[in-house]
Chains A and B, each alone.
Chain A
Amino acid sequence: MSENSANKFYSWIDERFHITPLVEFLKQKEVPVHRNSVWYYMGGVALFLFIIQVFTGILLLLYYQPGVDSAYESVRFITTKVSFGWLFRSIHSWSANLMVFVLFIHMFSTFFSRAYRKPRELTWVTGFISLTLAMGFGFSGYLLPWNELAFFATKVGTDIVGAIPLIGESAKIVLRGGEDVTGATLTRFYGIHVAVLPLLMTIFIALHLLFIQRQGMHEPEKFQKLPDEKKKTMPFFPNFILRDALLWLIVLNVLLFLSVFFPWELGLKADPFLSAPEGIRPEWYFMFMFQSLKLLPPHIFLLEGELIGVLFFAIAAIIWMLIPLLENKLGIKNKNVIMKIFGIVVVGFILIMTIWGYSV
Chain B
Amino acid sequence: MGANRRRFLNLVLGGGLLGWLGSVFYPVLSYLIPPKNPEAKVNSIKAGLVDDFPADFGKILKFGRKPVILIKSSSGELKAFAATCTHLDCIVQYRKDTKQIWCACHNGIYDLKGRNIAGPPPKPLEEYSVNIVNSEIVVSKQVVS
Contact = CB atoms under 8 A, between A and B. Distances in A.
Interface in B21-74: 32-34, 37, 60-62, 65, 67, 69
Given A275-B83, A293-B120, A306-B120, A155 B90 contact: yes
Contacts of B107: 294
Interface string B121-138: 110000000000000000
Interface string A280-294: 100000000010011
B109 to A, nearest CB: 11
Contacts of B121: 298
A6 interface: no
Name the interface size band of chain A.
Answer: 20 to 34
A227 interface: no
Interface of B is mostly: loop
A343 interface: no
Interface in B89-104: 89-93, 103-104
A57 interface: no
B88 A174 contact: no
A272 B122 CA distance: 22
Contacts of A294: 106-107, 119-120
Most buried by B among A158, A296, A297, A306: A306
B31 to A, nearest CB: 10
B18 interface: no
A296 B120 contact: yes
B94 to A, nearest CB: 8
Contacts of A273: 60-62, 67, 91
A299 B103 contact: no
12 contacts: A152-B90, A152-B105, A174-B33, A174-B34, A272-B67, A273-B61, A273-B67, A274-B60, A275-B91, A294-B106, A298-B87, A306-B120
Given A152-B105, A184-B34, A276-B105, 18 more contacts: A156-B106, A158-B89, A173-B34, A174-B32, A180-B65, A273-B91, A275-B60, A275-B69, A276-B90, A276-B93, A277-B104, A293-B88, A293-B106, A294-B119, A298-B121, A299-B122, A305-B120, A306-B87
Interface of A: 152, 155-156, 158-160, 170, 173-174, 177-178, 180, 184, 272-280, 290, 293-294, 296-299, 304-306
